[in-house]
Structure 1
Amino acid sequence: MTRKYQVVIAGGGAAGIAVAASLKQRQADLRIAIVEPRQTHIYQPGQTLVGRGVMTLPQLQRPTAKLLPKGVDWLEHRIAAFEPEHNAVRLDNQERLEYDQLVVALGLELNIEAIEGLAETLGQNGVTSNYVTELAEYTWQQVQRLGSGKAIFTQPPMPIKCAGAPQKAMYLSCDYWKKQGCLNDIRVEFHNAGAVLFGVADFVPVLESYVRDYGARLMFSSTLVRVDGPNHKAWFAQSEGGELEVEFDLLHVTPPQRAPQVVRDSVLANEAGWLEVNQNTLQHPRFANVFALGDVASAPNAKTAAAIRKQAPVVARNLLAVRQGQAINSGYSGYGACPLTVEAGKVVLAEFGYGGVLQPSFPLNPRRPRRFYWWMKTTLFPWVYWNLMLKGREWWLKHERPSGD
């Protein structure tokens, strides 16, 4: 069976819904199909807050059906293969969808199997991850349970979703233990596969001040490779060679991450497996009727919901320009935002674009922790997500031209 649409959107998460809404706002009669198997949509930026008891999992959930723009066909399937040479995709039920334009918004996947023993112990033995939606509540349970011992937090090699989230889990946990009066009885370590605490140097000093205040030990070039949950042991590969064995009472793991296999196996992928795009226009360099946004795209921006908020109108404008035979007229400068929750009640709002260039939205020192930003993180940003970003309401976003224009 074959169906034909003007636009097919692979993936109905934040990126897929946002770009569909943006397209419909601009051209209401577009025939659009979204391919998405999940019936429940998750506000992923809230998972760190669930891991601190600030939010609950039900607060992050909405039925997918209620979020889709009016007039968009929802196909509850998975993409089985891309056939860009034939302007088509195949679904897991063998149905074939033909398109004029394709938007790939499939997100990324957690490569839990890359760490030996992790899959068998996640969600028990004190091993948890806020990156796994169902385990964010388990994180909070374990943080409350721990009154003494050793707590380990990990960060794998880049790229990952929300690069600040691994250390946000540490800050919020330490803040809780400090307020409970037991932080001095807990040894905290942050094992980072990278060589720096945060990729944008402007924010490192303030983050390091919190690391010192919490008494945490930073372990750079240290990559988690194996876990023995029942015996509470973990092994980390060291840059100078060999492995470091560490005992733990709580282990918060950030798994390695990669593009979905259907993307990695397709001709649309770059050498690293991500959906290849021009980082400025978000158009595929070899297939002009293919665009991508969100975590799956190869653009070297921070993989955050805030990035999608800026990317969706860029893809919508450029896709419609291609449809009309016009020159592409919209550019993306790599904007991403990482609200670094350094304590419950204060946030460092890191906003930056390509090359770590700061792109602050407010005339305030962005390196300073503020209660105002905590309110934004816990209250304003979720409202913006549900009521503006996923509905294509973009009057408040600045239109940027492609670089070189």
Structure 2
Amino acid sequence: MTAVSNKLHLISKMCLRSMSTSGKSDHSCKLLVLGGGAGGCSAAAKFVNKLGKGKVIILDPAEVHYYQPMFTLIGGGVKQLPESFRPMSNVLPKNAMWIKDSVAKILPNQNCVKTNSGLQISYEYLVVALGIELHFEKVKGLQEALTDPMSGVSSNYSPMYAERTFENLSRLKQGNAVFTLPNTPIKCAGAPIKACFISEHFIQKAGHRKNVNFFYRTSLPVFYSVKVYADELQKLADQRGINVATSHELIEVNHHNHEAKFLNIKEPQNVETIEFSMLHAVPPMFPPVVLAQSSPDLVDHTGYLRVNKATLRHDNFPNIFGIGDCTNLPTSKTAAAVAGQIGILYRNLANAMEGKDVSLKYDGYTACPLVTGYGSCIMAEFDYDLQPLETFSFIDQSKEHLSMYVMKK
């Protein structure tokens, strides 16, 4: 990790040199974008081209931008962590102002945002793209286990721990490998499945498969939300000897005893304990707390930004739009979903700025390349109704294909 730390330090210096950040003064803009992830970067880039220099402000404290879909491949040893990030200053559009700060409060009735450093930014229009937050501490013992590099515990969901997945895999010669999915909405619900299948293939290729048992435990009532893909995944799991159980929530990790405890959601009196040699744990995830703390009118009952699922416009504030993981859109939280949303958001927000009807509709399109091993992938694409919405009509996308793996890679 030393090389990575040195690169992050260098990036920090580059950020300070290569892109102007603001001092302690107030700002105003035509469009304020909260968040520099996939959704925020995309929205800012499109509107800088439309509105011109000085009209768009991006608020994000991060020095680096991670391409998070690569984390699964890092965990499988296919990619290296330094390949997954770039300086934030290299990713954000140059003609936008980047304020390197965090959101302290959104004041939608006053059309302004306050930052942690005390700045106040006024806007005419606001795009909220704050993502979703990881909460490892919500599972008893998990954070402690992750601080011990020899615990056998990892998570592809954080750049701090993704490399450890492959380190643990490389040491695994016998015992139980356990993979989890929590009882909350998460980024890319297919990623835990990918981690399991890739790991199983690695152990198979390493010649240790007969000595390693694989367990997949998901809090969901189904293996995967879309039946046509779930059926194929279950068939593959059966063929490869992966023990799958639904409605099982990870509630405790004891890395000293190498035990993971799971609550049976349907039968809460039953708790399953599995001894592990390797545990890939996905943390519970929640919307940024600043949304609900700013105004109850901003969020739904779960704390996610409430937007119209078709237009992406806020239900209560017509000059606010949302994109990506922080919204209450009833679709899978993936980079592909953001790609499907950005065109609708751009045209609807542009129409709003011009006093036109906001009528274009997002159909919930999302995609998840379900990597099932080194060289195989099921390309899941679907809509709000969990019906396939596939791109490649000349192949059966519910089956494994090398071409889909190459596309993912």
Normalising by structure 2, we get a TM-score of 0.90
Which range moves more in the overlay, 329-338 or 86-95? Answer: 329-338
Q: 1:234 & 1:371 partners in 2: Cα distance?
A: 34
Q: 1:22 & 1:357 partners in 2: Cα distance?
A: 30
Q: 1:30 & 1:213 partners in 2: Cα distance?
A: 57
* Alpha-carbon distance, 1:27 to partner: 3.3
Q: Which runs of 5+ in 1 are unaligned?
A: 379-405
Whether the 8 Å CA contact 1:22–1:313 is kept in 2: the answer is no
String of CA shifts for 1:133-189, please: whole Å, max 9, x gaps: 121111001011101101110011241100100111000000011111211211111
String of CA shifts for 1:82-111, please: whole Å, max 9, x gaps: 100100110001111110001000000012
Is the partner of 1:209 in helix, strand or coil? Answer: helix
Q: 2:353 aligns with which of 307, 323, 337?
A: 323
Is the partner of 1:133 in helix, strand or coil? Answer: coil
Q: Sequence identity, in percent?
A: 35
Q: 2:87 aligns with which of 45, 51, 63?
A: 63
String of CA shifts for 1:339-363, please: whole Å, max 9, x gaps: 0001110100000110112111111
List structure 1 segments (4+ residues) > 4 angstroms apart after TM superposition. Answer: none
Aligned twin of 2:287 = 259
What residue identity is the alignment partner of 1:202?
A: V
Q: 1:368 aligns with which of 399, 404, 407?
A: 399
Aligned twin of 2:326 = 296
1:119-134 paired onto structure 2 within 5 Å: 119-124=143-148, 125-134=151-160
Distance 1:30 1:282, change over 3 A: farther
Aligned twin of 1:217 = 243
Aligned twin of 1:171 = 197
Verify: 1:247 aligned to 2:275, yes or no: yes
Is the partner of 1:24 in helix, strand or coil? Answer: helix
Whether the 8 Å CA contact 1:317–1:329 is kept in 2: the answer is no
Is the partner of 1:53 in helix, strand or coil? Answer: coil
Q: 1:265 & 1:244 partners in 2: Cα distance?
A: 37
Aligned pair count? 378
Q: 1:219 & 1:366 partners in 2: Cα distance?
A: 25
Is the partner of 2:385 in helix, strand or coil? Answer: helix
Which range moves more in the overlay, 310-319 or 99-108? Answer: 310-319
What residue identity is the alignment partner of 1:41?
A: H
Which range moves more in the overlay, 336-345 or 243-252? Answer: 243-252
What residue identity is the alignment partner of 2:88?
A: T
1:174-189 paired onto structure 2 within 5 Å: 174-189=200-215
Whether the 8 Å CA contact 2:125–2:320 is kept in 1: the answer is yes
* Alpha-carbon distance, 1:123 to partner: 4.8
Whether the 8 Å CA contact 1:19–1:313 is kept in 2: the answer is no
Aligned twin of 2:225 = 199
Aligned twin of 1:382 = none
Q: 1:81 aligns with which of 105, 130, 150?
A: 105
Is the partner of 1:328 in helix, strand or coil? Answer: coil
What residue identity is the alignment partner of 1:255?
A: P
* Alpha-carbon distance, 1:51 to partner: 0.4
Whether the 8 Å CA contact 1:183–1:214 is kept in 2: the answer is no
Q: Which runs of 5+ in 2 are unaligned?
A: 1-24
Which range moves more in the overlay, 204-213 or 337-346? Answer: 204-213
1:222-233 paired onto structure 2 within 5 Å: 222-233=248-259
1:323-362 paired onto structure 2 within 5 Å: 323-362=353-392
Verify: 1:236 aligned to 2:262, yes or no: yes
Q: 1:148 aligns with which of 163, 170, 174?
A: 174
Distance 1:311 1:30, change over 3 A: farther
Structure ranking higher on relative contact order (CA contacts 8 Å, 6+ apart): 1
String of CA shifts for 1:237-279, please: whole Å, max 9, x gaps: 1121232222111110011111011123232111100011001
Q: 1:135 & 1:29 partners in 2: Cα distance?
A: 38
Aligned twin of 2:126 = 102
* Alpha-carbon distance, 1:29 to partner: 4.8
Verify: 1:31 aligned to 2:61, yes or no: no
Q: 2:100 & 2:239 partners in 1: Cα distance?
A: 48
String of CA shifts for 1:7-58, please: whole Å, max 9, x gaps: 1000011110011112223333560100011111110000000000100011
Which range moves more in the overlay, 283-292 or 150-159? Answer: 150-159
